[in-house]
Chain A
Amino acid sequence: MSKYNITFADIGTTVNVSRGTRIVEVAEKVGASIPFGCKENDCGDCMIEVLIGAENLSKPSPLEIELLKEKLAKPSNRLACQAMVLGDVTVKPA
């Protein structure tokens, strides 16, 4: 399976992950300062800012778009519990 790098800019840590890995799975393990609540697209706590490679994340679902809108998110924001890594990407907490 293809491998890609996800970089957590706030803690200077890069992790080499399999394609399709959700950001939440990695972020918690390396201690990135992205807070997690429900991990199921409900609370919006895990909002991140994508610094590089937004096109390398899975497209947001209609439910994620609805929640991001309610949370007054910027276009560069995603939910770490929803976005899957499909290429190299650099993120930080929103």
Chain B
Amino acid sequence: MTQPVWLSERVQWIGAFDPGMRSFDIILKTPNGTTYNAYAVRGSEGVAVIDTVKAECAEQFFAHLEAVARYDEIKVIILNHLEPDHTGALPELMRRAPQAKLYISQSAQLMLKALLNRKDLDFTAVITGDTVSLGDRTLRFLHTPYLHWPDTQCTYLEEEFILFSGDVFGCHFCDKRLYNDKVGDFRFAFEYYYTHIMRPFREHVINALALIEPLTINIIAPTHGPILRDQPTRYIERYRELSAQRLQNEINAEEKTLIVFYISAYGSTTQMAEMIREGAEQVPGVRVSLYDMEGGDTDLFVDLVEDADGILVGSPTINGDAVKPAWDLLSSFAKINVRGKLAGAFGSYGWSGEAVRMLEDRLRGLKMRLPLEGVRIKLIPSLEELEQCRQYGLEAAEHLMGVNAPRVLEMADLLAARKQTTEELSVVTI
């Protein structure tokens, strides 16, 4: 059995090693496993336990905890993040230390109730600036939601300048030497973790950094991977860099960017895309880019989309569906935040033309805003239909710039338009 690791006279790592883990939360590869880091802080008036571990690793956690404290000394249990890999051992810890008070983020309350399914739950919800005293040690809370769940927070040990950061600054890397100046090369794991876990919450990372950067920090103690005691502020600086825009911004503040992605079997959807661009470019301040998905790579496109203000996606309908490159592009948006960006779809079709409406539904599902119904054109666009595309591009760009004419609509018309489309589709499909 491994031993607890002493960060200081009063602070111990009491977590667990999971070297055999090979994929995490389905989406992450973990080639050398991970750690679940939990900590104990001893004050003159009791002990705080900060986070726990995955249920399967509870035995290691309790052995480490018992080596540094008795259960009846535990006054406080702080949960920086409620995901089961950090709360798996919580029910058993609560059973063994029933007197301990739970401290969770203001935004974690409903989640905690759903996690523990207990009616008699007693806890304190905290926010930035709130503290809990252990006598000669004080723990201060930082409200850092959405890093990477709504419930996440950080906890700062004031007297020792240690930041218990939850998943922030963490990574999946299992090395029993545990300190960043002792373990193997984990740079890739740190970057990979940011890209897959934190990147979709870029705005929240920036808000959290504003709370963290003013602190004096000797040690960052995250819930996964190495404890960062050697030059901890370098990792904060790296988060600052990673949360900045990926691409050098060549757009001035008054301009907005619209990207038109398209793919075409016989050139009709290409013609539509080109006319949409022509229309959009009529609106001052809109920078339009046109990309053929057939010639691109979604990993590169996703960097463009992250910084774009609006995107339009054009796909023909083949076998009643949008084509795979269009779906691949849309599925890559889960890596970034596209919420609230303007979006739309268009495309040519042979007989049933489902692609556009299916893409629109998916774009709405991604929480993008679709102010206009996309253009669907049967086979080769006529001159009138190309004019319709130009008008669509123009209106999309006006919505993007916020210069569209105010509209007054009837709900009944909106409902009828949708119904008509559905009927039209079902008739043709049969």
A residues sitting closer than 8 Å to B (CB atoms) are 5, 11-18, 21, 26, 28-33, 35-37, 42-45, 66-67, 70-72, 93
Contact = CB atoms under 8 A, between A and B. Distances in A.
Contacts of A36: 367
A36 B418 CA distance: 19
B372 interface: yes
B340 A93 contact: yes
B339 interface: yes
18 contacts: A5-B408, A11-B404, A12-B404, A13-B408, A14-B406, A15-B408, A16-B409, A16-B410, A26-B411, A28-B364, A29-B415, A31-B399, A32-B369, A35-B340, A45-B367, A72-B106, A72-B127, A93-B340
B414 A29 contact: yes
A28 B364 CA distance: 8
B364 A14 contact: no
Interface string B116-127: 000000000101
Interface of B: 106-107, 109-110, 125, 127, 150, 339-340, 364, 367, 369-372, 399, 402, 404-411, 414-415, 418
A66 B371 contact: no
Contact of B369 (A12, A33, A70): A33
A44 B406 CA distance: 28
A14 B408 contact: yes
9 tightest Cβ-Cβ pairs between the two chains A and B: A31-B371, A35-B367, A33-B369, A12-B406, A17-B411, A31-B370, A33-B340, A29-B414, A14-B408
A21 B367 CA distance: 21
B339 A13 contact: no
B415 to A, nearest CB: 8
B295 to A, nearest CB: 30
A71 B107 contact: yes
